[in-house]
């Protein structure tokens, strides 16, 4: 499984970029790493770039990740999460709703610069 998880060059958010479709164990592992990096750097913003992969999780799994795994892994309530999607990709619209309902601020973006601006606003 190939993932990039690191503090972005701007130093203001954690970047999580999978390069292939993932399974439950891998996503939990990499979300945990992102949360640990954020805590160490005192960051509360995340950019998750899913442009190169298809959504591999069911509605229920997205719900479980947002409502249960996020808190267990250390994502703070109110964290800002920008999800970078391919132009016209509507398959992740529900993810935004679920993440927001879990107490995080979440928006979908098709342009990386717009996502970065929102995270830093």
Q: What is the pLDDT of residue 41?
A: 94
Residue labelled with tokens 């770039």:
49
pLDDT tens across 84-109, in order? 999 998 888 888 998 999 999 999 99
Assign a CATH topology to domain 3-120. Answer: Transcription Regulator spoIIAA (3.30.750)
And the tokens for 88?
């016209």
Evaluate if residue 1 carries a pLDDT over 70: no
And the tokens for 4?
């990039």
Q: What is the pLDDT of residue 43?
A: 96
Domain ranges of the chain: 3-120
Q: What is the pLDDT of residue 104?
A: 92
Q: What is the pLDDT of residue 23?
A: 73
Cα torsion angle, 5, 61, 101, 76, sign: negative
pLDDT tens across 17-58, in order? 987 777 777 878 888 999 999 999 999 999 999 898 877 777
And the tokens for 40?
């160490």
Task: State the average pLDDT over residues 58-68.
Answer: 79
H/E stretch holding 104 reads: none
Strands of 14-18's sheet in order across: 3-7, 14-18, 45-49, 80-84, 105-109
């Amino acid at each position: 499984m190939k993932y990039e998880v690191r503090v972005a060059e701007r130093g203001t958010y954690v970047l999580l970029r999978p390069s292939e479709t993932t399974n439950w164990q891998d996503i939990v592992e990499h979300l945990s790493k992102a949360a640990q990096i954020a805590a160490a750097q005192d960051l509360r913003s995340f950019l998750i770039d899913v442009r190169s992969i298809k959504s591999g999780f069911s509605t229920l799994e997205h719900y479980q990740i947002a409502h249960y795994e996020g808190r267990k892994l250390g994502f703070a309530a109110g964290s800002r999460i920008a999800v970078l999607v391919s132009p016209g990709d509507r398959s992740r619209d529900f993810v935004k709703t679920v993440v927001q309902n879990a107490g995080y601020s979440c928006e979908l973006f098709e342009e990386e610069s717009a996502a970065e601006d929102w995270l830093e606003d």
